[in-house]
Amino acid sequence: RVLRKSIARIYTVINQARKLHQREIFSSRRWVPKDLRPKKTRAIRRRLSRKERRMKTPRAHRLASAFPRLPGCLFSPFCIYNRSRQTQLAPLSCKLSLSLGLCVHESPSDPEASIGNIGIARVSTLISRQRTPATTQFAPLSM
């Protein structure tokens, strides 16, 4: 029994050294042998990589470039409250008044905002033959 365990210990050291040497050889190559790849689980190995998950189809790419997502409250439920303070995104109840050309944001979660520190965005609508949505420019209101 002692002899078997000592032989196993020697084989373990030899195999570890061999694998370490192979890892150094294959570290710069594109493909790595299967026994050197991370084992993980079968489901994790079959998942798409992060790069593959973020890839867009050509059609989605065209649509994204033709209709870019606008900053502000027009399309997003989260809006930047005050850019000068670099605060985090906070959920805002936006009151949109296109007739006045103003977009007033009030943050119910922020106590300073409910007192009267309201951010205002000027809304300029672009009208052309293409379906171009309105754009916003944010300017904090000083009271």
Average pLDDT, the chain: 68
pLDDT band at 141 (very low <50, low <70, confident <90, very high): low
Q: Enumerate the domain spans of the chain.
A: 2-55, 78-140
CA-based nearest residue to 120, from 101, 77, 68, 75: 101
**φ/ψ (deg, to 5) at 78:** -110, 140
> In the predicted model, is pLDDT for residue 47 greater than 70?
yes
* Percentage above 90 pLDDT, the chain: 40
The tokens for 42 are 């079968």
Question: CA-CA distances (angstroms) from residue 117 to 81, 104, 114?
Answer: 10, 11, 7
- In this predicted structure, the answer to whether residue 14 has a pLDDT above a threshold of 90 is yes
Q: Which residues pair with 90 in a beta bridge?
A: 79
* pTM of the predicted structure, to 2 decimals: 0.35
pLDDT at 109: 52
Which range scores top for mean pLDDT: 10-14, 61-65, 87-91, 107-111? 10-14
